[in-house]
Chain A
Amino acid sequence: MSVLVLVEHTDGNIKKKSFEAVQYAAEIAKKTNTTATALVLGTIADSELENLGTYGVQKVLHVADKKLDELHARAYASALIAAAQKEGSKIIIALHDINGKAVAPRVAVKLKAGLVSGALSYPDLDKGFVLKKAVFSGKAFAFVNITSDVKIITLMANSFPLVAGSGKAAIEKLDVTFGDKDFGVKVKSVDKVTGEVSLADAELVVSGGRGMKGPENWGLIEDLAKELGAATACSRPVADAGWRPHHEHVGQTGGTIRPNLYIAVGISGAIQHLAGVNGSKVIVVINKDPEAPFFKAANYGVVGDAMEILLKLTEAVKKFKQHK
């Protein structure tokens, strides 16, 4: 009956957001008087797997098949179902990211299970099995009840702070028999981005809009981001004009992000942009126009020239880090 959670890793290092998913699963297990089991796929050392116990799982199932180092969603789904059967799991957790979004709906169909995509809360068991999620790209929230016997949740990362405990997890190898179709998608080439902070997972984000005047000024955004250890993002007009790559576009028709800190520079704050970033915990708006609508959604505001403020802010961060 244990709560099953799918864990992701990058080249054998468990992702922080997966520890969050594990902690989330362990908490649900507590609420439902059961235990939590983690499922890990691909090449990873036992010493790293043991770390999962720190966040509350009692058992780790490891499918050590090298083919699973690449995302093969159908194979991942087969492994999840095999693990769920072994554990008798009625609750399955994955992350609401590229992997989780490709796997969870497949498992949901196979098990005729209700799926809540992008959950922000623990299930409310008094009202059924009700989870809060953002809808209309963050313009509102919905409370969704899962009515099926088996329940699947993809958790929105950065929803719960991590608190490390002291538990130890038992590791068990799991053999899964895969079907021909599980590896139907052939991976021709992989291009991993290294050295940069990934925008989707970033805790701090510095973002620029049309107020940056041109791509030649982006060095200032990058300098501040580098000093903070932040990812960079941009508004839609900036991506459309080709000043920045498309994957940096955040907003209703780009990426939705919810970092701890979002610094918006020269972005007026159109409703479509706000929809993509209003899940951020703290928003700083820097704009020369004191009437910019973004200030209404901000925690901190600075009115003035974007370039000048960026220079000063980067200096101030540098100074702060030296004295910390």
Chain B
Amino acid sequence: MKILVCISQVPDTSTKIMLKDNDTAVNTQGTTYIINPYDEWYALIRALELKESGVATDVHLITVGKADTEPVIRKGLALGGDQAIRIDADSVDPYQTANYIADYAKTVGYDLLLCGKESIDYNNGSVGVMIAELLDADYIGFATNIQVEGTTATVKREIEGGEETDVVNFPVVIACQKGVAEARIPNMRGIMAARTKPLNVVTPTSSAAVTTILSYEMPPAKAGVKMVSPDNMDELVELLHSEAKVI
């Protein structure tokens, strides 16, 4: 069984976002990059667990990005991926990213495709679903547990107002969140091994974007905090009622 894990390079969670060029771009100077936490902590680690338990034979990582994404890809290999694919492109939107990945995936034929529930940079959560549609495959989002037997997966997932357990046949795309696996730290042996693992650079297929970001804006600064004495909670309730009008 072959697994493809989609990973996205994102700014570290502690990054303060700053804009440049008249707010038409994000200033990435000095930004530290990481693998999108949902992709790494849950999708990748679950894929590795499935390989360790003998269920999966291959774990491939794929990302869309230029050469500057390679250190992040190597980290994925250090954690235990067998090989990585980098689609050599700066993707403009999720539609383009999904097309690039799906076009590559078709050439290999993966049984299980795993990704995070969303990336923490653009927060769309749409690439995984789009890949599923492009591959004519099923998709399960917000997974919290994935078990594999033969050519089916049993997946526990969050639904509106609760939880459900689904059974689905391969090929399937599953988007992972907390619960699917526990985060790991790469060990020295893994880091050494990652240096010589294959990292294939692939030319993107032609696919046009259907959205573009025109500009950015920073959230408005808060007007300042109004302090209330801990002995006067009646006043706080009154403020929330008559001034803030939220209760």
Contact = CB atoms under 8 A, between A and B. Distances in A.
B192 interface: no
B233 A315 contact: yes
A185 interface: yes
Does more than half of chain A's interface fall in helix, strand or loop, or is it mixed?
A: mixed
B90 interface: no
A98 B158 contact: yes
B162 A108 contact: no
B146 interface: no
A239 B121 CA distance: 22
Nearest to B99: A109
A141 B217 contact: yes
B167 A186 contact: yes
Nearest to A262: B246
Interface stretch (A28-36, A209-217, A245-253): A245-253
B218 interface: yes
Interface size class of A (residues with CB under 8 A): 35 or more
Interface stretch (A39-47, A51-59, A169-177, A279-287): A279-287
Interface string A271-314: 11001001001101100000000011111111111001100110
A138 B216 CA distance: 12
A233 to B, nearest CB: 14
Contacts of A128: 214
Contacts of A308: 230
Interface in A58-113: 70-71, 73-74, 77, 97-99, 101-102, 104-106, 108-110, 112-113
B19 A300 contact: no
B164 A191 contact: yes
Given A109-B133, A253-B37, A316 B159 contact: no
B210 A106 contact: no
Interface stretch (B10-18, B72-80, B198-206): B10-18
Contact of B141 (A101, A147, A204): A101
Contact of A185 (B19, B168, B223): B168
B166 A188 contact: yes
Contacts of A138: 219
A103 to B, nearest CB: 8
Most buried by B among A102, A138, A281: A102
Contacts of A110: 133
Nearest to A247: B158
B45 to A, nearest CB: 14
B227 A272 contact: no
Nearest to B158: A98
Given A295-B225, A298-B225, A136 B234 contact: no
Interface of A: 8, 10, 70-71, 73-74, 77, 97-99, 101-102, 104-106, 108-110, 112-118, 127-128, 130, 132-148, 181, 184-193, 198, 203-204, 228, 239, 246-247, 249, 252-254, 256, 260-261, 271-272, 275, 278, 281-282, 284-285, 295-305, 308-309, 312-313, 315-317, 319-320
